[in-house]
Amino acid sequence: MTCIIVDDEATARAIVAKHCSGIPELDVVGEYDNAIDAIKFLNQQDVDVVFLDIHMPGFSGVDFVQTLKNCPKVVLTTSDTEFAIAAYEYEAIVDYMVKPLTADRFEKSVQKIKKALDKEPTAAPNTRSISNTDAVQDLYINIDKRLIKLHFDEILVVKAKGDYIDISTENKDYRVHTTLKKIKDKLPEKIFLQIHRSYVINFTKIIDIEDNSVLIKKMVIPISRSNRPELMRRLNLV
């Protein structure tokens, strides 16, 4: 079983690695001090299990699990006992080990991993049908009784503003009397994403991401904590 270790503390990573070395079935293929670097690795290579610390600066273990579309099996390693029950709400999490880790407890965790992997069904081919917004390339908005055609690719940001929405495009801004939900339903999911309760963005137009905001053209748009994992999953990290 291939695995990686993700923990911001070097000593904690070394302890997990030592326990792994005592299990012939485990092959450690990477160690990371932050979740983002681990996600970049997993976008390029599959592993069977991740030994993951919950509390890491900037991007927690829970954010990590939520971000990955096809998350490997996860064993949480933490000093925090309060999260144990909530952790099992996530299908990918198969065990929860409280530090300091012991050899006996680690062996029991490995057995849980084996059972979880044995139950893993064979992945079925992706047969998702093409949605209407995948086929259509544009939409029409009603401005002063005129129907104006907007190509999806030219739309940068959609912002909710009371009973209206503001649509920012490459060349012009428009205000339309509708809701953010209605416009979101008409936009293709493959390039548009809601990153805040008031904002939907064309994430292919992102110039920069820093802390809790993205930059599109000269606009700085906030990212809510609940929407951040999906944004990170969508990005083609290298």
Which band of pLDDT confidence, cut at 50, 70 and 90, is reported for residue 24?
Answer: very high
Average pLDDT for the chain: 87
Q: Indicate whether 126 pLDDT > 60.
A: no
Identify the pLDDT of residue 211. 79
Spell out the residues 6+ positions from residue 138 whose beta carbon is closer than 8 angstroms to its own. Answer: 149, 150, 151, 152
- CA gap 90, 62 in Å, rounded: 9
CATH code: domain of residue 6: 3.40.50.2300
**Range among 4-18, 31-45, 199-213 with highest mean pLDDT value:** 4-18
Mean per-residue pLDDT, 145-150: 84
Which band of pLDDT confidence, cut at 50, 70 and 90, is reported for residue 9?
Answer: very high
Contact of 207 with 157, CB cutoff 8 Å: no
Q: Does residue 113 sit in the same domain as residue 136?
A: no
In a domain, 47, yes or no: yes
Q: Which residue would you say has higher pLDDT here, 6 or 235?
A: 6
In a domain, 203, yes or no: yes
Mean per-residue pLDDT, 33-48: 88
Which band of pLDDT confidence, cut at 50, 70 and 90, is reported for residue 139?
Answer: confident
Secondary structure of residue 99 in the 3-state scheme: coil
**Range among 15-19, 42-46, 89-93 with highest mean pLDDT value:** 15-19
Which band of pLDDT confidence, cut at 50, 70 and 90, is reported for residue 130?
Answer: very low
Q: Does residue 101 sit in the same domain as residue 145?
A: no
Domain range for 140 is: 132-234
Identify the pLDDT of residue 206. 94
**For 201-214, b where at least 16 C-beta lie within 10 A, e where not — what string?**
bbbebbeeeeeeeb
Q: Which of 118, 148, 180 is the last residue before a domain boundary?
A: 118
Q: Indicate whether 108 pLDDT > 90.
A: yes
Q: Which of 92, 118, 144 is the last residue before a domain boundary?
A: 118
Q: How many domains does the chain have?
A: 2
In a domain, 36, yes or no: yes
Identify the pLDDT of residue 17. 97
**Per-residue model confidence as pLDDT tens digits over 193-233:** 999 999 999 999 999 998 789 999 999 999 998 888 888 88
Q: Which of 88, 118, 148 is the last residue before a domain boundary?
A: 118
Q: Does residue 209 sit in the same domain as residue 137?
A: yes
